[in-house]
Every structure is written in structure tokens, then in C-alpha cells.
Amino acid sequence: MIRLFDITLRLNGFPIKKAKAELYQIVNLSEDKYAVFLQNKKKEIVDFHLKNNSFYQELVGSTIAPKWEDLPILNKQNLQKPLEERLSKGYSLKDVYLNKTSGSSGTPFIFAKDKYSHALTWASNIMRFGWFEIDFNHSYQARFYGIPMDFIGYQKERFKDFLSQRFRFPVFDLSDEILEKFLKKFKSKKFDYVNGYTSSIVLFAKYLEKKNIVLNEICPTLKACFVTSEMLFESDKKLLEKQFGIPIINEYGASELDLIAFENPQGEWQINAETLFVEILDENNKVLPYGKEGRIVISSLFNKANPFIRYDIGDIGILDEKSTLQKPILKKLIGRTNDVAILPSGKKSPGLTFYYVTKSIIEDDGNVKEFIIKQTTLDSFEIEYVAETALVSDQIQKIEEAIALYLEPNLNFTFTRKTVLERTNRGKLKQFKSHL
């Protein structure tokens, strides 16, 4: 059987064979040898960028290489400069992998990865999906993603899908008629796995629940479902397991870095410690111990084209107490730092708390398919929702009571029923947004 996926990577200049070999070595290091490897890699990448990257030299400022914990924290605002100003010596726009972040944090920027570090990203993906018997060269993917709407962008993605053994279900319109078409495809095609945005896959599962259908009964080749890019709530995970009848695997990644964490077969959210180094910091940039909640700050150990050293990704999380240097476990991902609601009392609350509370009430009867919450002023919020029938006053009252209980009283809500919710140009659903 032709290994089309690997061949495509090689033709595009990504040395996948070499990357797989190095990844294999890193994974099989003893604990002591891994600690040495990590120390060396951190020093090597900092030295490289201090020598070859004027953007990073300027950021660090001193001529003497500082200790790791004194290195500056890089944030998305720092990176919103023309890419030419951030590229390392010896790299040009022609010989790197280029992409743009999704901008779900409100600050998109273009980034570069050198070809080898991008090959390592793929090697890491291949290994992790392999834990669940998925092989990118041969396994057939049902892909729930956005797609560019311009002709050239559209054809390009479709061609990439063909090379990568993927069938794409565009997520911009998820009405019942469209979901029915999705269902027909699952009846006629032999998919091995589902992969894509959490919110759209959950919506499909709700449609299956309504029709009383279990997906792997009509598509028995399915082995697993991988959700990404948006929060997976425990209740949604249970729904997916019930309606799909296969393991649901949660992943957390960032296009500018790599897969950050991936649920392993033991159900732990294992951090990628082969190509990344993850720290949890407090507001004074001090490293927090395992078990404490703080900002997720990530260093790319291999990317020489662009420095991503101590990069604040804009998320908040906790590393499990049972983490080790070689096998860190992400205990909890709390959400983005910028999705915080500021309330009249001065209290700050993660926007996802609203989403959580509202979700627990709104979805009891399965009428409401999806909703988003927008904060418009200090005490006012808009809830936009998609539903078969409009919410009635006692449902609205219940939501307001629950929010008063969990957050604070005297907040104002308007409820707007929509036929479809606004997604980002990539097809992601932003669950909470503050306009303050």
C-alpha cells in the first residue's frame, strides 16, 4: 500500500523519516537521560535565537544569556510584527512552513516553522493517533472543519483532503437537512475515525440522539473520535460516547506550536514533552507547583525559524500532581485568559462559567442545539441560541436564577433565537465573548 501521506510530506521538504527516528529516541529515553535532553534542548534553542534572531535579541535585551526563569515571557502582541522581522538568520519565507493562527484569542498573526520542526510535529501527531490504531497513510477520516470559501482556497483544501485520506464535512451550516446528509455519508463510506471541532461534532451527536441512532452501528469501521480546538465538557463527552459508540479522545493544540496535550489510552491528558516544554506561571511569572492553576506558557524546543520560548498562549490550566518532567499530565484546561467576564461587584469570572451554568439548564429537553454568550456592558449579557422552539419565560427565569446563584444577582440578559450562530472564518464557535 502506498504511504501517500508520508510521501506528500517528503515531497514538500519535510524530513518525516528523520523526525520519526528522533522522536522514537526521545520517547525511549530513561527519566535521567530525558532530564539531560530537556536541559540541553532548552539551552540550545535559547542560544540559537540569541545568536540568530534579532527580534529575540531585542526582547531579551541583555548581552549575557540569562537564566531560564529570567527569560522574558513572549505574548501574542509581541508577535504581531511583520514575519520578516521575526525570522531567524539563514531562513527565508521560501524555505519554511508558513501559517496563520486562528485568531480565536482575538490576536491572529503569521508564524513560521523550519521544515524539520514541522516534520517533528507530524511525527508526534502520527505517534499519538497511533495509540488508537489510526494511521494517517491508510485510515479514512471524517473531518468536521471549516473550509476556505474562495475558489482556489477551496480546491486546495479539497486536494489536501484527497492526499490525506480525509472526507470533509464543512461546519458553517449545521441545520438538520445538512446533518441528515452527513448521516447518509456515514452509511455509505467506511470511515475509520472522526476528527474536528468539538462544537460541530457535539451538534451532530445531538442530531443522532434525536433520531435514536448510534453512529458505529451504521458505520462499523469507526474506531475513535478526536475533538479539538474548543472545550469538551464532561456532559458532551458522555453524549458523544453514547451516540458514537467509540472512544472520544480530547486533544489540545495550537497551530503555531504543536499538539500540546493528547488524551492517552489511560484517559490522561498527556502533555507533549518531546517537542515542547510546558510551564504554569502565576501573574508575576513565577513557576507554580503541580496542582496549582495558572497561565500556560510553552516553549518550542525545536523551532529555529521563529522563537517560541516561554510563550504565553493565553490559556489557563493546571498540571496534575502526578506529573513528572518526562510525562506531564494536564489536569484541567480552564479556558482562555481573555474570555473573562468582569461583573458589577468587581468580581472576575471565566466566561465559561456562564456557559456552564446556562448549559446545565438549557439543554435538559434537547430543544436548544447551540448557544453563545456575549457580554455587552458590565451588567448586560446577550445569549444567542439555535432552537426548534423559542425559550419560554420559566426557562429564562431558571437560567437567571442559576446565574445569580453561581455568579451574582442583578445581571441583565437578552435572549435571541437564531437560525445559525456566527462562527469564525475557520468554522470555530466562540462560546463566550466579552465586548468590554
- Return per-residue pLDDT of the chain as tens, 436 residues: 668 889 989 999 999 999 999 999 999 999 999 999 999 999 999 999 999 999 999 999 876 768 999 999 998 888 878 888 999 999 998 899 998 776 555 566 889 999 999 999 999 999 999 999 999 999 999 999 888 777 888 898 899 898 889 999 988 778 889 999 999 999 999 999 999 988 889 989 999 999 999 999 999 999 999 998 778 888 899 999 999 999 999 999 988 999 999 999 999 999 999 999 999 999 999 999 999 999 999 999 999 999 999 999 988 999 999 999 999 999 998 876 667 788 898 887 777 778 777 877 776 666 888 888 999 999 999 999 988 899 999 889 988 988 888 788 999 999 999 988 888 777 777 888 888 8
- The per-residue pLDDT for 170 is 85
Question: If you ran DSSP here, which 8-state letter would residue 289 be given?
Answer: P
**CA dist 46 to 66, 113, 142, 259, Å?**
9, 16, 40, 21
Report the sign of the C-alpha dihedral through residues 258, 261, 263, 266, in that order: positive
Helices marked H in 277-430? 351-362, 393-406
Question: In this structure, what C-alpha cell is assigned to residue 297?
Answer: 506558557
Residue 100: strand pairing partners: 110
Report the sign of the C-alpha dihedral through residues 422, 425, 430, 436, in that order: negative
Q: Are the beta carbons of 75 and 59 closer than 8 angstroms?
A: no
> Of 193, 149, 155, which Cα lies nearest the Cα of 171?
149
Rounded CA separation 216/196 (Å): 17
> Of 339, 356, 342, which Cα lies nearest the Cα of 104?
339
The H-or-E segment that residue 35 falls in is helix 31-52
> Of 229, 236, 431, 235, which Cα lies nearest the Cα of 341?
431
- The per-residue pLDDT for 102 is 60
- The per-residue pLDDT for 176 is 87
- The per-residue pLDDT for 29 is 98
**CA dist 121 to 32, 100, 259, 260, 302, Å?**
24, 16, 7, 10, 10
Report the sign of the C-alpha dihedral through residues 287, 291, 295, 296, in that order: positive
Number of Cβ within 10 Å of residue 89's Cβ equals 10
In order of start, what are the domains of the chain with their CATH numbers?
4-336 (3.40.50.12780), 340-434 (3.30.300.30)
Contacts of 250 (CB under 8 A, 6+ apart): 226, 227, 232, 237, 262, 263, 269
Q: Please state the pTM of the whole predicted model.
A: 0.84
What are the DSSP calls for 191-208, one per residue? --EEEEEHHHHHHHHHHH
Q: Are the beta carbons of 123 and 14 closer than 8 angstroms?
A: no
Helices marked H in 285-433? 351-362, 393-406
What is the Cα Rg of the chain in Å? 22
Phi first, then psi, for residue 237 (nearest 5°) are -60, -45
Q: Are the beta carbons of 223 and 132 closer than 8 angstroms?
A: yes
